[in-house]
Structure 1
Amino acid sequence: MYDPNQPYGNNPHQPPPSYGPGYPGHGQRPPGPTPDGQRTNAIVSLILNLLSLVACCNIFGIGGAILSGLALGRAHAAPERAKLLNVWSWVLFGGGLVLSIGTIIVLGVNGAFDE
């Protein structure tokens, strides 16, 4: 017979307490980079680095595209390494973009675009 005053573990017909959905081991992934997120990040970085290489003559886009390709290949095998490669590909993209904008500003101040 069920006794509501009896604590867990003393009644063999009562299940043990649940820890809820957030407890590790209940289908939850541990924190950290996911392979799908790293693949998406690498694809976006690869496209933008190649686009900056073609459209803005960003020579750093070559290195960024290479690092993005490497990150894309390592997204499932080594997600932490892929994350590091993605970060450096974005750094190269941003650095090249800053240098391109700086060059345009310097040329504009010096009158290179005047007729």
Structure 2
Amino acid sequence: MSGYGGQPPWEDPYAGHQYGGQHYGGQPGGAGYDPYGYGSGYGYGPPGVPYATRSNGSAIAALVCNCVAVVLCCNIFAIPGIATGAVAVARASTDPDSSRRLAIWSWCLLGASFVVAIIVFVAFMALGAASEPDYDSGGGGI
């Protein structure tokens, strides 16, 4: 053995490689250098293989908001939004495009359920105001 700075007593398996013998600081290209030649800059994999997947956060948020609308607001019209949100979450890993469309439908159903709930509330208020008895016009008062 030769000690520090000398050649190792074994044969370097990467000596015939294009970048053999060069380590972190001595590599051409700096920190983003890709020694495997994939071209991605960080060695995440070969070209054509995505290393980032789409998030299903919108589908999860739509599902949670529809559930909150049903439970806390007694908005039974949000139940179809729960169904589409659940299907969107289930399809997120297998069919991301369908999951995205279903998440949009779930948000639209949530908005429509609130519009319907407001219309029903206003209708009940109008019916309630119209059906109040008039205590002042009755006969036989004291």
Count of aligned residue pairs for this structure pair:
82
Q: Is the 8 A contact 1:46 1:65 kept in 2?
A: yes
Query: Residue by residue, what CA displacement relative to the aligned partner does 1:49-76 show, whole Å, maximum 9, x if unpaired?
Result: 0111112222232221111111111112
CA shift at 1:46, angstroms? 0.7
SS of equivalent to 2:70: helix
Query: Residue by residue, what CA displacement relative to the aligned partner does 1:9-51 show, whole Å, maximum 9, x if unpaired?
Result: xxxxxxxxxxxxxxxx757xxxxxx521xx1101111111011
Aligned to 1:50: 67
Cα RMSD after superposing both structures: 2.4
- Which of these residues, 50, 63, 69, is aligned with residue 80 of structure 2? 63
- Which of these residues, 21, 35, 48, is aligned with residue 54 of structure 2? 35
Does residue 93 (structure 1) correspond to residue 93 (structure 2)? The answer is: no
Aligned to 1:74: 91
Question: Sequence identity, in percent?
Answer: 35
Q: Tell me, in whole angstroms, the C-alpha distance in 2 between the residues paired with 1:74 and 1:98.
A: 28
Q: Tell me, in whole angstroms, the C-alpha distance in 2 between the residues paired with 1:100 and 1:84.
A: 24
Q: Tell me, in whole angstroms, the C-alpha distance in 2 between the residues paired with 1:60 and 1:91.
A: 12
Aligned to 2:29: none
Unaligned runs of 5+ in 2: 1-38, 42-52, 133-142
Q: Tell me, in whole angstroms, the C-alpha distance in 2 between the residues paired with 1:80 and 1:91.
A: 17
Q: Tell me, in whole angstroms, the C-alpha distance in 2 between the residues paired with 1:26 and 1:104.
A: 57
Letter in 1 for 2:85: S
Aligned to 2:27: none
Unaligned runs of 5+ in 1: 1-24, 28-33
Query: TM-score, normalized by length of structure 1?
Result: 0.61
Q: Is the 8 A contact 1:56 1:100 kept in 2?
A: no
Letter in 1 for 2:72: A
Query: TM-score, normalized by length of structure 2?
Result: 0.50
Determine which structure has the larger helix proportion and give its number.
1
Q: Tell me, in whole angstroms, the C-alpha distance in 2 between the residues paired with 1:87 and 1:103.
A: 24
Of structures 1 and 2, the one scoring higher in RCO (CA 8 A, sep 6+) is 1
